[in-house]
Chains A and B, each alone.
Chain A
C-alpha cells in the first residue's frame, strides 16, 4: 500500500518534468500545448474508468456479489472526478488555441461532455432507490448501459462533426515526435497509476467503514447500529 503512492508520485513528477523540460515546444501552439500532457491522459483514464465500471457491473449482475457493485461504484465515482478535470483542462486548451472556451467542432470534447452528463445521473439514481440490494442491481444495469454507450456515442459524434482541427492524439502513434511521445507515455502511465492509487484508497475506506459497522453490531447487537439512512454509496450486507 505504501509503494504504490510513492511510485505514482515519482512517475507523475517525472512525466511532468519531461513534458516541461525535455519535450520540445510545439511549433504551432507553443507553451499552451503542454496542457496536452495533462488533458489527454486524464481523458483516456476517465473513459477507461467508465468502461471498467460497466465491466464490474456485468460481473455484479452475473455473480450477485455485492463487492463488484462497490468496485463499479468506485470506478465511476473516480472517473466523474477526473471528468471534471478533463472538461476544465479541455476548455482552457480550447480558449488558448482556438480563442473560445468551448468549441462544438471538436468531437472528442463534445462526446466527453455527453458521457459526463449521462454519468452525472449515476449518483442521483442510486440515491433515489432505498433498498440496498435493488439499488446495487439498478446501478449495475445503468453502469452496463452507459459503458456500452461510451464507444457508441464517440462514433456518432465523430460522424456528425466535421473534423477540421489537427488531431493530436489520432497521430500520436506516427505523427508525434519521439521526445513528445515519451513524455506523453510517462504522463499517461502516471495518470493511470494515480487512478489505481485513488481507487485503492477509496476501496480501503469503504471496506474499513463496513468492518467498523459489523464490529459495532457484534458488540452491541442491532440496537448499536444507527439506521443507515439513504445513501448513494453501495453497502455490503452486515454479517
Chain B
C-alpha cells in the first residue's frame, strides 16, 4: 500500500509543480480575502478574537477551492478508472489525496500567514508565537485534509459538484473553525501572545482522529465503479 500512496502522491505533487493550479489559486484567493476583510471590517489592523476569526475564515474558504479541485483531474482524465484497474488497496487513494491536500494547505499557509501578519495583524508575531501557530495549524490542516478529501470524493461524482463542496464541507468543518478561532485568539492578543490553550488542541486532535478513522472506513464505498 505504501508504494501506491507514494506513487499517487508523487504524481499529484509533480502535476501541481509542473502546472500549478490549486495552490496559486488558493493563495491568491486568500490574500484577496484579507483585502476584502480590510474593507468589510473597516479596520487597518486586527487583534485578538477578530484576528483569529479572520485567519480561520480565510483559511477555510481558500481550502474550499482546493477541496473542490482535488479529484477533478482524476474524474475528467480517467485517472480513477486507471486506479481501480490497478491491483492496489483503494484506501491508498484516500491517503495519498489527503496527504496531497495537506501539502497544498501547508503551501497555502506559507503565503497566507506572512500576508496576514503584514497586512492585518496588529500586535505582530514573534518566533515562539509563530511556532505555536504552526502547531495549531498542523492539527487544523489534518482535519481539513481528512474531511475535505471525503467531501471532495463525494461531490466529484455528482452533477452539482461545485455547489456541494462548500455546502457539505462548511458545516462539517465547524468544529475545526471553533478550535482554530479559540486556539489562535491568545496568540494574537494586543498585550502579547499567551500560551496555547490545551483543550482546543485536544479537541482538534480528537476531531482529526475520529474523522480520520471514519473516512478511512468509508472511502472504499466511494470508488466502487
Which A residues have a C-beta under 8 Å from some C-beta of B?
A: 61, 114-115, 117-118, 121, 124-125, 127-130, 134, 137-138, 140-142, 144-146, 148-149, 152-153, 155-157, 159-160
Question: Given the interface contacts A140-B221, A144-B214, A156-B178, does A114 sit within 8 Å of B171 by beta carbon?
Answer: yes
Total inter-chain residue pairs, C-beta < 8 Å: 83
Are B221 and A61 neighbours in the complex by a CB distance under 8 Å? yes
Binds A, one of B16-24, B63-71, B94-102, B151-159: B151-159
Which residues of chain B from 149 to 179 have a CB within 8 Å of any chain A CB? 150, 154, 157-160, 163-164, 167-168, 171-172, 174-175, 178-179
Complex Cα spacing A149 to B214, Å: 10
Report A224 CB to chain B, min CB distance, Å.
28
The answer to whether B210 has its CB under 8 Å from any CB of chain A is yes
Q: Looking at B164, B182, B215, which has the most chain A CB atoms within 10 Å of its CB?
A: B164
Report B222 CB to chain A, min CB distance, Å.
6
Complex Cα spacing A145 to B174, Å: 14
- Bitwise, B205-225 to A at CB < 8 A (1) or not (0) is 011001100110010011011
Question: Given the interface contacts A125-B168, A145-B218, does A134 sit within 8 Å of B174 by beta carbon?
Answer: no
Which residues of chain A are near B167, meaning CB under 8 Å? Answer: 121, 124
Which residues of chain B are near A61, meaning CB under 8 Å? Answer: 218, 221
* Besides the known contacts A129-B158, A145-B215, A149-B171, 14 further A-B residue pairs in the complex with CB atoms under 8 A apart: A61-B221, A124-B167, A125-B164, A128-B164, A129-B157, A138-B158, A141-B150, A145-B150, A146-B172, A148-B211, A156-B179, A156-B207, A159-B199, A160-B178
